[in-house]
């Protein structure tokens, strides 16, 4: 799967600023980076009285807007998606996803504190890989000063290289991740890869995506009758 690293810290203490600078450095290195920002509060991506805002408030589950070289979309999920599910559904072809927030997740984390030392909870943080702070932390971990942007980008770059996507399979049923055992994953990987590899015009690929549309309400398993 695509590597993810979360930048976490207290509010108003430099997470976005550090992320912005690291992103510029990684982009200069031709890395394709996606960003996921977590918020505990509601948010508004659109302006009131725009066409898309009116259609969204009219009841659309998802609204997308597309223009020259850009697009955006937002929608209602009914529940909070995990960063892994968001990555799998919406970030299909990136070198890495940098995340702002999700302190309680299982993601590897970089704690940011532009002023002073990192917060006291950083020492026991699950998945901590580095601290970016003005003063050195009181515990043993990799430390960068806020001005060491190239070094922080090197950390991310190294993580991408050592955690680049491996062969894996994810199955989603109407957006819900279906847990499957390793031997089932191997079966899908070997069988589907071999079938697609035998088709004409198939070159190198980073991702195989197969979508099966079923009639509404059809139960599984689906038995497809043989054609004569």
Both 81 and 194 in one domain: the answer is no
Out of 145, 162, 179, pick the residue that ends a domain. Answer: 162
186 within some domain: yes
- Pair (207, 138) in one structural domain: no
**The three-state (H, E, C) secondary structure of 150-218, written as one string:** HHHHHHHHHHHHHCCCCCCCCEEECCEEECCCHHHHHHHHHHHHHHHHCCCCCCCCCCCCCCCCCCCCC
225 lies in a domain? no
In this structure, the answer to whether residues 32 and 105 fall within a common structural domain is yes
Same domain membership, residue 57 and residue 28: yes
Domain ends where: 132, 162, 192? 162
Residue-wise pLDDT for 197-225, tens only, equals 888 888 777 778 787 877 776 676 655 55
How confident is the model at residue 65, as a pLDDT?
Answer: 86
> Of the segments 8-22, 37-51, 164-178, 187-201, which one has the largest average pLDDT value?
8-22
**Whether residue 176 sits in one domain with residue 112:** no
What is the sign, positive or negative, of the torsion defined by CA atoms of 188, 194, 196, 197? Answer: positive
| pLDDT tens per residue, range 3-42 | 999 999 998 889 999 999 999 999 999 999 999 998 776 6
pLDDT in tens, 58-110: 888 888 888 888 888 888 877 888 888 888 888 877 899 999 999 999 999 99
Residue 102 shares a structural domain with residue 194: no
Q: How far is CA 216 from the centre of its chain?
A: 30
More confident residue, 46 or 119: 119
pLDDT at 124 over 80: yes
> Pick from 146, 162, 178: which residue ends a domain?
162
How many domains, the chain? 2
Same domain, yes or no: 88 and 116? yes
Q: What percent of the chain has pLDDT over 70?
A: 92
Confidence band for 164, pLDDT divided at 50, 70 and 90: confident
46 and 98 in a common domain? yes
Q: For the chain, what is the mean pLDDT? A: 86
Domain that holds residue 171: 167-214
Residues 98 and 185 in one domain: no
Residues 194 and 114 occupy one common structural domain = no
Of all residues in the chain, what percent carry a pLDDT higher than 90?
Answer: 37
- 156 with 188, same domain? no
**For residue 150, cis peptide bond before it (omega within 30 degrees of 0):** no
């Amino acid at each position: 799967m695509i590597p993810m690293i979360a930048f976490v810290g207290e509010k108003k203490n430099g997470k976005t600023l550090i992320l912005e600078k690291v992103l510029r450095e990684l982009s200069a290195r031709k890395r394709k980076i996606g960003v996921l920002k977590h918020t505990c509060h509601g948010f508004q991506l659109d302006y009131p009285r725009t066409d898309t805002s009116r259609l969204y408030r009219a009841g659309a589950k998802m609204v997308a807007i597309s223009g020259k070289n850009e697009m955006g979309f937002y929608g209602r999920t009914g529940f909070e998606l995990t960063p892994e599910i968001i990555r799998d559904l919406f970030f299909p072809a990136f070198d890495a996803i940098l995340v702002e927030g999700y302190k309680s997740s299982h993601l590897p984390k970089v704690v940011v504190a532009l002023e002073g030392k990192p917060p006291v909870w950083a020492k026991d943080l699950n998945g901590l890989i580095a601290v970016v702070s003005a003063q050195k932390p009181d515990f043993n971990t990799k430390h960068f000063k806020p001005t060491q942007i190239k070094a922080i980008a090197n950390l991310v770059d190294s993580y991408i290289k050592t955690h680049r996507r491996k062969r894996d399979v994810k199955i989603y049923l109407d957006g819900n991740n279906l847990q499957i055992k390793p031997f089932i994953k191997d079966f899908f990987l070997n069988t589907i890869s071999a079938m697609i590899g035998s088709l004409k015009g198939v070159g190198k690929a980073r991702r195989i995506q197969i979508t099966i549309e079923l009639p509404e309400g059809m139960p599984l398993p689906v038995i497809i009758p043989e054609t004569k």
